[in-house]
Structure 1
Amino acid sequence: MPAPFLILLLCLLSSLAHTESFGGKIINGKSAEKGSLLYMASVQLNGVHKCGGFLISPNFVLTAAHCDKGDNMTVVLGSHDLKADKNIQRFNVKQKHTPNGFKDVNTGKDIMLLQISRKVKSGKTIETVKIPVKDKSVRANSKCLVAGWGAVQRGGQSVTDLQVVSVSIIDLKVCQDEWSKINQKLPANVICAGGYKTKNGACQGDSGGPLVCSGLAVGIVSFNLHGNCDYPNVPNVYTQISKYLPWIKKIIRNNS
């Protein structure tokens, strides 16, 4: 086998074992009902949807740290349909906050607070979502939901209508064991849900969106197996919000 071809083959095989951050698809979901999920945000780069996010206070949106690509970032609120809705409100990002030491999704701390340019008044099209008030694990098999914009199948065309799907929490030890089978160690402070033993889950484009259980946002979409959204496979991975409560509260307190 020629040396250049062998090197290319080895690189390809190696890449298949790596994780990849989500970019906005919901797999096997449905269109969100009008008037629901009013906390959902579209985090956009140069006016194009890049990631999900969610409003947790009048002027702060939570999303994933890996969504920051350094481009012109804005936040869109008040919309289920990013093209057709008349209630869309666009906000400039005044400041970005990420934990010290964030490098990439593989090492964890994949959480970012966006301070938007003006405070939002809750109403018929926009509202905040509650987050935990103390550090507490989420019970395995709890029924939750994840939502986002994008294609509804791997390799499909993106959609502008907000999609939502039901997922179940996966025991963390089970999740760690499944990821270890492909030689991937999970970072600290994560929750697992969807993808594993089910055809439901998130995919490229849903990064930064919330994992919501019983009306409480407990996780942030972080990563899955390298670009493979043909579930079932290893579980989807989310940043656990309750592990970062002191950091979140300090930033909001100092900037509100």
Structure 2
Amino acid sequence: MMHALHDLLLLCLLTCVGQNAQGSEIINGRPVPESLMRYMASVQIDGKHVCGGFLVSEDFVLTAAHCDKNSPMEVVLGTHNLKKVNNDRMRFSVKTCKHKYYDKVESGNDIMLLQLSRKVQLDKKVKPIQLAKKAIKATDNMKCLVAGWGFTATNGKAVDVLNRVDVPLIDLNVCKKQWKFQKVVLPKGVLCAGGYGTKNGFCQGDSGGPLVCNGTAVGIVSFNMNGNCDYPNRPNVYTDISQHLAWIRNILKKKRC
């Protein structure tokens, strides 16, 4: 009986992780100046923001695989204020290129490329970000940040202006141990930053956004603890971009999934 109850609770936790990880936002953040983070993208469905993303080439935006809702998606580029969107110039329909081994967030491979319907015009308002070329460790002492649109508190309200917050990298062994207390075994190919040992982190509204360290995108927002953004609690989990470089480069080179 107790074993069955344990399995039921674990199933509920993992289901909640998957359901509540959809998009995450910024806790204790501040507005991003218009001149910075010009690679940020708003991933939208029916004209509404559902996830973050970031430009990696003239043709592609990188985001999280769980942002795919099996509905036509669009991307908005070139603005930090979602109330100020020129649809003819800033809005792009997209084709989804989801990682073939993605199943659910707790299983890993939470990564997806979005192929833009047309090349974006790179200028002072739109600029791609460089991707990490190798894995990083918490001991690398890098200054990192996460940014996005959406809730600024658990079950809060979305914001129209892009926000960012500094987050510390967390040693992966420490992160695994903390999540083990939740009866969750982290998948391979993830990074942890924020949400633990700090009040800073992400929340509902911006999954798919980048974890940026020293101006380089190293991770993709994946999930937190049951959508609970009242930090500190458990470490925030990101997809490790360095583990998917070959997959990314292959698609960017072929310019198709």
Same fold flag (TM > 0.5): yes
TM-score (ref. length: structure 1): 0.90
What is the number of residues matched between the two proteins? Answer: 247
Residue 136, structure 1, aligned to residue 135, structure 2: yes
After TM superposition, the structure 1 = structure 2 runs for residues 18-57 of structure 1, keeping only pairs within 5 Å, are 18-19=16-17, 20-57=20-57
Residue 246, structure 1, aligned to residue 231, structure 2: no
CA offset at residue 24 of structure 1? 3.7
Deviations 1:3-41 (A, max 9, x none): xxxxxxx97896356523142421000111121110000
SS for the counterpart of 2:91 is strand
Q: 1:13 to 1:96 in 2, by over 3 A?
A: closer
Residue 178, structure 1, aligned to residue 175, structure 2: no
Q: Output the CA distance in 2 between the equivalents of 1:46 and 1:107.
A: 28
After TM superposition, the structure 1 = structure 2 runs for residues 138-177 of structure 1, keeping only pairs within 5 Å, are 138-140=137-139, 141-177=141-177
Deviations 1:185-230 (A, max 9, x none): 0010000000001100001111000000000000000000001110
Report the residue type matching 1:124 in the other structure.
Answer: K
Contact 1:22 1:202 (8 Å CA) reproduced: no
Q: Output the CA distance in 2 between the equivalents of 1:245 and 1:16.
A: 31
Contact 1:65 1:98 (8 Å CA) reproduced: yes
CA offset at residue 153 of structure 1? 1.4
Q: Output the CA distance in 2 between the equivalents of 1:80 and 1:52.
A: 12
SS for the counterpart of 1:232 is coil
Contact 1:24 1:50 (8 Å CA) reproduced: no
Deviations 1:68-110 (A, max 9, x none): 00112000000100003559600010x2112222101010000
After TM superposition, the structure 1 = structure 2 runs for residues 1-256 of structure 1, keeping only pairs within 5 Å, are 15-16=12-13, 18-19=16-17, 20-84=20-84, 89-93=90-94, 95-133=95-133, 135-140=134-139, 141-255=141-255
SS for the counterpart of 1:179 is helix
Q: Which region of structure 1 is more displaced relative to structure 2, 98-107 or 35-44?
A: 98-107
Contact 1:22 1:221 (8 Å CA) reproduced: no
Residue in structure 1 matched with residue 4 of structure 2 by the alignment = none
Q: 1:184 to 1:24 in 2, by over 3 A?
A: closer
Contact 1:40 1:55 (8 Å CA) reproduced: yes
Q: Output the CA distance in 2 between the equivalents of 1:70 and 1:14.
A: 24
Residue in structure 1 matched with residue 3 of structure 2 by the alignment = none
Structure 2 unaligned segments of length 5 or more: list them. Answer: 1-6
SS for the counterpart of 1:247 is helix
TM-score (ref. length: structure 2): 0.90
Contact 2:41 2:53 (8 Å CA) reproduced: yes
SS for the counterpart of 1:57 is coil
* Structure (1/2) with the larger helix percentage: 2
Q: Which region of structure 1 is more displaced relative to structure 2, 234-243 or 82-91?
A: 82-91
Q: Output the CA distance in 2 between the equivalents of 1:173 and 1:40.
A: 30
Q: Output the CA distance in 1 between the equivalents of 2:179 and 2:54.
A: 28
* Aligned-CA RMSD value: 2.1
CA offset at residue 151 of structure 1? 2.0
SS for the counterpart of 1:194 is coil
Structure 1 unaligned segments of length 5 or more: list them. Answer: 1-9
